[in-house]
Structure 1
Amino acid sequence: MATVHETIAARIHAALLLCFAEEGDPPVSRAAVLPEDCPSEGLVNLRLEDPVEEGRVFGVPAREWSRVAAVEIVAQPGDEAGARALFDALAAKVGGLRGQAIEGVDYLDLSAPGDVEDPPILGDAPVRAGIVQITLYYETGDNPLEEI
């Protein structure tokens, strides 16, 4: 059985997979090392930071947590305008998570995409890369390592 923390991580990954389920969308990897070659549909990678305990709920044996999920997006379709358009389209798909209910997550907060200075992508074509941070807020029982 998985802990609550791992279950939440798996659910945000599954939600991203649904956001990128259309034909021609890039695959969504989790904690992968970005390759040096960027496919024409772009790259999307999920990296999860460690959970942070936000507090305890009085009267109930529960703890409140937050966890940042960084979604790395890389676009390199061939020209500058195409890179910007593809990056914006991929970031908008991540933004679609805002209205979704993710089981076990009380609420989530999305940041605007932040630029990455030098993505490790080869080639002469312009590259547009950035990170959208999603902060997940959820509760566990009194024992954060309990399995569900």
Structure 2
Amino acid sequence: MGPLMLFRRVAVAEAITWVLLLIGMFLKYVTRTTDLGVSIFGMVHGIVFVAYCVVTVLVWVDQRWPAGRGLLALFCAIPPLLTLWFDRRAERRGHLARTWRLREDGTAVRAPERVVRWLLVRPLRGALVGVLTVAALTGVALVVGPPASS
């Protein structure tokens, strides 16, 4: 799977889990019927949010995005559904290739590119590192907890 399809799948998953979390919040805070939706979809959305950020950094390095584009892609995970907009915009403008640049030509010059190339050359190893990274970052987020309410 290339950067275009990987990014698209994670961007769509992030948007879907956002909607499910919003529905859960509506049920909890507006109808006051259940908080089950927030409990379940809050965790699911958190995991997918972290996965989106990890994939975004991977694609950012591989596609040699400038800092502004990479930061915009990360920011788009915060407001609901904005990842869908960014995905379409990046594809239209040619910022998401169908193949991994670093796997195909191997021109890893900078340290981040060498790391990404190492992950891409053996996809199973890369996928395992990705899953472990998402799990570790999700664990850190659970330990830190939600922002303090005032």
TM-score under structure 1 normalisation? Answer: 0.29
The structure richer in strand per residue is 1
Return the structure number with greater helix share.
2
- TM-score between both structures, scaled by the size of structure 2: 0.28
